[in-house]
Structure 1
């Protein structure tokens, strides 16, 4: 169990009554980082409107700048452009890919799955050596399949035989491409990373998945849709096969949707408190996995309405447990598990064995922390079984995982003295989370 760090613990506020709040969320991390890669490998400049400015997206921007792209931030407070790293709130990023990608470069991927899986193919297109490393736990995340795939497509990579970070991509200014087969059952990012750079491969790309089902299918649909918007020709008509024709991408304007996965804890607060929460700007159609919250929360007993003001969730006097296959929406698991621990009946969440390889082993972490507060959770081969029990306060460890912070906050709505360890790790995707959370709770009464 990780060590408690009291000086950084955040006492999750208890709701004093039903919340009645309207919440605005920053842009989607998944869409922002895809747009950054597509912009940096296109011809011509691009504008990324309403992006997420967080640790994960800044790591991506810094990495692309190290490879020669010019990434500028336009602050919300004014039109002037400033280098990446200025304000947390931005209204747009301007990306000029420059004449060519180049090294040598050293890239820090932090603990960001999108950066560690999307950047190696980009680095293979650069001219020069690109050294890639990240946070200590990042060295345990699955990387072997994408490194082996890149080698099969013509890349030279020195990883010391580890199939993991750190490694060096010895870029030669281009990549042959062609056909490759890999097992992407650990993460859809292994395929998305290859697809995003594939238009720049000399022969394009045909990638075939062989193995258990690929998780997070909506994220693959997002990758394909954004590639097409950038001008790529993509054929995904055959199951588990993706083909991208060679050809240049065009610079364009990207308007980033709100991050729907980051809505989970706010909408969940309506269930826990028997209140009402509206998340503004919810798209009528989207490839984001977070859109599944509409059906999942309804199954738990919420009243869900998508209207012109956004998505509104209303809770009642209690809510049901949930039985669901979350293979496509695994990132929602921590918040849904927290809700399950507070529900009126048992829950069974399956299809999520791949979460053992995320920022932490999320299944083991959720069981340890829910049970540490007096709950009754156990691991299944591919998921979690949770039976509600009266909970008590205590330290809720987060394992440097932003989604664990959000789960702890949800539990704290109903359980006094839940102390969330290292709340700052939420900066990975939502830097001002605690301020937004507190603002929502000022509406409770």
Structure 2
């Protein structure tokens, strides 16, 4: 499949439409679709929507990307990760139907997911956008039940545009005529772009701060909309930003007419690895007893700010970062907010990724952001160095979902 990948990634739906037509248009035979776009929080919001739907007794397909440890994580059929033989069969079918034409890895694997979803009964189908929205391979469902846009921030400028308004325009490309859209917290330029698209399509917006509100009160989550007020446990996914993500998920569930059982399941049962995930056991965690070890895959300035906010709420403890990043990201923008929370950073490269920054490059940018920086050949070596200097430290491994996936595989 990788041999079919175009030499230049040009965002277009033409290849996708051609392949779907050859497959019999499986996107037309899906359960009610909830389509989710945004820069930050897409995966966490989807995980909470799924937990809520399943808590109410519904079966749910879910498509997400990228995967962390195994490709199968991307495709969940009626609640279960796709089986190896099933995955092989739909990939083979898509490869044959494509007839040797150029197609991207994400396009052909998205087509395989849609094909699998069309053949297994379920009550709902959750589709997470890969990149942008308007020209994303998932944007092939004519009439979803609902769309969702989580917070939009600056990322992937080479594909989506340099300004927040341009990027939000691309994200808002998932809106469909007269289909409601749940909108998470947005900066003004992003909200204006979303509102303009919604007005053209007569798509009702269900926006935070206008149609629903969410806040933390005495360690619990309070959600309010025109239906009434919910007093729920705090989200089990750590971080203040997860209250906003939970709010969007709750707005979706309320729009679908689901009650408090679904709402409570959404905030208490959701699981989403590499989002401020505490690693307490496994080869890496066991190698540094006494160290409080965390893992997060966030990689843009908004993620850096969210991580810094969360670290500031944790009990006082020396905090060290182990960081590896891709050269396509705003490295300084990600690290600058973390400078207030980190005692040091140990930079690593990401094995197997051609776009990785070298450890020296990441360390140099960290120093320019005011963080004491070191270099290591691997995450294991970085942890060993930190343990020797600070045996009871807090360590956050961060900077890339690709690094996070590598860590999860190494940690079993």
Query: Same fold per TM (> 0.5)?
Result: no
Looking at both structures, which has the greater relative contact order when contacts are Cα pairs under 8 Å and sequence separation is at least 6? Answer: 1
Higher helix fraction (1 or 2): 2
TM-score (norm 2): 0.31
Q: Hey, which of these two has a bigger chunk of strand by percent?
A: 1
TM-score by length of 1: 0.29
